[in-house]
């Protein structure tokens, strides 16, 4: 929270002499090379580390991209979640195959390995339904032999913003002296008080627990989804403290861990930024160097505010690369995994990944039939919406308060994509809503940061005891009994498994597995006639995911979805949400060509990749193609994939 920043982020890319990997295909119909993709859907640019910037002096730096070319920044971040990383990028450990699919981490007993690590080369290896998007649905090894169902992260930024807002509303009730932490005295002053938050004005308040330690276990009685850390009388972290009763502890601080099913005492990740670097470290072995996260001179548990505008707590998830040793261009050479490849994931890379996930479009809404409407009524009657809270209000930004810890962030997205079923066209269609204004004198894109009503989420952002049919035994015998309330939106995606473990192949089955705190709602469902159960399922299936860059969408704001959308003088086919059409320099497709069978086809591959993707901008140029852009390459004309100079 120390380094305040205007807004946004980006990613660096440039030409490379390396042979392209599977998903990196910039070739067109004239290339005659194996890396051709006339569909234009594969990655078009090589891996280049992103330069983190906090001003606009470097064209192609992360903040410049976010403020001046935000859709390009969005696409760069998306590519970071879809890229298949290679050995030259530092994936796994320097090609040592003994490190692939190895056991990593420890469980509660301090001995048993927690996961299988180094088992993926891309985020898209697990988050892949829909393909090439912020999807989910794949099971993988996580703490238990039953697996872990990877969740989608459509609408991910909304979760980050609401997690912060819930914390703020709780702090307003108990942080009496407004010093951003809860003292033992403040907890005592509010002993037994339920911390209530209304999801929307006038809605039934949700309790997130109580601020004191009523049960005497040394932990504040907040819902277990909260990450709690213990502080001294100045609000600084008491290193190693695990309880309010530990020496030197004068109170605590907390954050809502919105990401994760609930695989430990609290949850998993507090922010999208952590949700990128933590799994990519675990599953690809790529070390992250992120000063945004570790910049905490007050040692209060909070790092900086990211370019995107999200406060970053470091207290439980600290990137292994601390930057204790920097080279002449500011890159960390600590190399925690010892493979010789430095700064495998940079602060700028994280700016880009966070920017994409912050703005990842929210799920859509399918056909609303009379059966769906009746199913919605039954869903509420059964009490399902008591936990699966459907609607949430994002409060507008409060910039008058000088301390970001005590103010709302507003809606930090720079666009919204509203996707609904169109009864006339009989298909899902989108409408791009710009949440920014462009300063005509500077070209800077300024986010409005207004309030917003978010409909159809379907979660209360809490963890609940879910009954024995949901219990899970960890490898070490530890029993997991509490899980976060899974969001409803996205439930209608065909083929998805359900449940934290992905063991339920149908909606009916996962509903019947509910117990514990959800038993009353489950019993109401089970006792209802089969026709009513089917109505509830029809309602749940109306919340859909979709392929974001293929969805027909009005992106130019004229109220029409064109069948022949012209971009850079070429007919690109139907109008859709392809970020390349919205770049500062729009992508220009190759157009009509003959394929090798002599058939006329439209090639959607770009012919202006360098200009559209800004590869010639000062912050993106990589002369020697070693993934280190020239501005952070100690040897900019000598290929050296490990550190810019050496192979």
Please tell me whether residues 240 and 389 are part of one structural domain: no
Lowest-confidence range among 162-171, 195-204, 392-401, 549-558?
Answer: 392-401
Helix (H), strand (E) at residue 163: helix 156-174
Q: How far apart are alpha carbons 20 and 18 in whole angstroms?
A: 6
Helix (H), strand (E) at residue 450: none
- Provide the pLDDT for residue 105: 87
Per-residue pLDDT band at 404 (split at 50, 70, 90): low
Indicate the residue among 507, 529, 544 that finishes a domain: 544
Are 269 and 278 in contact by the 8 Å Cβ rule? The answer is: yes
The string of DSSP letters for 502-523 reads S-B-SHHHHHHH--GGGHHHHH
Q: How far apart are alpha carbons 322 and 530 in whole angstroms?
A: 57
Crossing angle of helices 347-359 and 156-174, in 10° steps, is: 90
Residue 380 in any domain: the answer is yes
Please tell me whether residues 383 and 236 are part of one structural domain: no
Indicate the residue among 485, 510, 544 that finishes a domain: 544
Per-residue pLDDT band at 137 (split at 50, 70, 90): confident
Angle at 523 between CA 521 and CA 526, to 5 degrees: 115
In tens, the pLDDT along 626-640 reads 999 999 999 999 999
Angle at 180 between CA 174 and CA 181, to 5 degrees: 65
Residue 249 in any domain: the answer is yes
What's the Cα-to-Cα distance from 151 to each of 92, 281, 463, 550, rounded to whole Å? 24, 18, 16, 21
Angle at 203 between CA 516 and CA 180, to 5 degrees: 85
Residue 84 in any domain: the answer is no
- Provide the pLDDT for residue 400: 66
Q: Identify the CATH number of the domain in which residue 462 sits.
A: 1.10.760
Would the pLDDT of 606 be above 70? Answer: yes
Per-residue pLDDT band at 386 (split at 50, 70, 90): very high
What's the Cα-to-Cα distance from 86 to each of 13, 48, 627, rounded to whole Å? 15, 12, 11
Please, what sign has the CA dihedral across residues 221, 277, 136, 199? positive
Q: How far apart are alpha carbons 349 and 244 in whole angstroms?
A: 37
**Cis peptide upstream of residue 545 (ω within 30 degrees of 0):** no
Residue 234 in any domain: the answer is yes
In tens, the pLDDT along 442-501 reads 999 999 999 999 999 999 999 999 999 999 999 999 999 999 999 999 987 655 688 999
Phi, psi of 399 (to 5 degrees): -85, -5
- Provide the pLDDT for residue 210: 98
- β partners of residue 582: none
Q: How far apart are alpha carbons 56 and 64 in whole angstroms?
A: 5
Report the predicted TM-score, pTM, of the whole model to 2 decimal places. 0.94
Residue 119 in any domain: the answer is no
Range of the domain at 427: 364-544
Indicate the residue among 544, 571, 588 that finishes a domain: 544
How many domains is the chain built from? 2
Residue 122 in any domain: the answer is no
Residue 407 in any domain: the answer is yes
Please tell me whether residues 393 and 510 are part of one structural domain: yes
- Provide the pLDDT for residue 3: 39
């Amino acid at each position: 929270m120390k380094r305040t920043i205007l807004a946004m982020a980006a990613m660096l890319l440039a030409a490379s002499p390396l042979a392209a990997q599977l998903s990196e295909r910039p070739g067109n119909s004239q290339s005659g090379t194996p890396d051709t993709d006339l569909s234009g859907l594969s990655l078009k640019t090589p891996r280049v580390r992103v330069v983190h910037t906090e001003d606009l002096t470097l064209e192609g730096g992360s903040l410049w991209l976010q403020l001046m070319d935000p859709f390009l920044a969005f696409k760069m971040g998306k590519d970071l979640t879809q890229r298949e990383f290679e050995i030259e990028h530092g994936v796994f450990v320097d090609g040592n195959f003994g490190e692939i699919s190895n056991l990593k981490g420890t469980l509660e007993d301090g001995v048993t390995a927690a996961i299988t690590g180094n088992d993926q080369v891309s985020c898209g290896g697990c988050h892949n339904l829909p393909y090439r998007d912020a999807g989910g649905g794949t099971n993988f090894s996580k703490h238990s032999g039953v697996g872990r169902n990877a969740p989608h992260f459509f609408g991910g930024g909304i979760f980050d913003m609401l997690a912060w807002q819930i914390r703020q509303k709780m702090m307003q009730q108990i942080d009496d002296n407004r010093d951003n932490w809860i003292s033992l005295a403040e907890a005592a002053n509010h002993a037994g008080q339920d911390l209530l938050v209304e999801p929307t004005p006038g809605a039934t308040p949700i309790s997130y627990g109580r601020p004191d330690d009523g049960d005497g276990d040394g932990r504040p009685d907040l819902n277990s989804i909260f990450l709690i850390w213990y502080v001294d009388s100045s609000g600084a972290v008491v290193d190693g403290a695990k309880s309010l009763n530990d020496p030197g502890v004068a109170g605590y601080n907390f954050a809502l861990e919105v990401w994760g099913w609930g695989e430990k005492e609290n949850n998993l990740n507090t922010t999208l930024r952590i949700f990128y670097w933590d799994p990519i470290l675990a599953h690809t072995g790529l070390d992250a160097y992120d000063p945004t996260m570790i910049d905490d001179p007050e040692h209060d548990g909070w790092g900086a505010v990211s370019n995107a505008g999200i406060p970053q707590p470091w207290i439980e998830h600290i990137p292994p690369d601390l930057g204790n040793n920097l080279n002449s261009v500011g890159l960390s050479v600590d190399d925690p995994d010892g493979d010789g490849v430095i700064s495998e994931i940079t602060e700028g890379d994280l700016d880009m990944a966070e920017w994409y996930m912050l703005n990842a479009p929210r799920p859509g809404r399918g056909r609303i039939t009379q059966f769906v409407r009746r199913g919605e009524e039954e869903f509420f009657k059964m009490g399902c919406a008591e936990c699966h809270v459907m609607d949430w209000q994002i409060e507008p930004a409060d910039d008058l308060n000088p301390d970001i810890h005590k103010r709302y962030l507003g809606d930090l997205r720079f666009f919204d994509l509203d996707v609904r079923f169109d009864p006339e066209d009989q298909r899902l269609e989108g409408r791009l809503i710009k949440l920014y204004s462009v300063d005509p004198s500077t070209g800077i894109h300024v986010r409005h940061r207004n309030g917003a009503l978010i409909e159809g989420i379907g979660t209360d952002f809490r963890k609940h005891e879910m009954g024995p049919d949901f219990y899970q035994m960890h490898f070490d015998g530890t029993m997991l009994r509490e899980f976060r309330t899974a969001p409803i939106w996205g439930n209608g995606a065909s083929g998805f498994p359900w449940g934290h473990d992905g063991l339920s192949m149908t909606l009916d089955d996962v509903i019947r597995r509910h117990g514990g705190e959800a038993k009353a709602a489950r019993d109401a469902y089970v006792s209802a006639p089969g026709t009513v159960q089917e109505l509830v399922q029809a309602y749940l299936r109306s919340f859909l995911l979709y392929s974001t860059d293929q969805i027909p969408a009005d992106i130019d704001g004229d109220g029409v979805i064109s069948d022949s959308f012209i971009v850079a003088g070429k007919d690109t086919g139907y109008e859709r949400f392809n970020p390349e059409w919205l770049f500062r320099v729009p992508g220009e497709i190759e157009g009509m060509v003959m394929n090798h069978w002599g058939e006329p086809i439209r090639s959607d591959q770009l012919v202006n990749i360098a200009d559209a993707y800004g590869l010639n901008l000062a912050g993106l140029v990589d002369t020697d193609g070693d993934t280190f852009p020239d501005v952070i390459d100690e040897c900019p004309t000598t290929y050296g994939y490990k550190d810019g100079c050496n192979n």
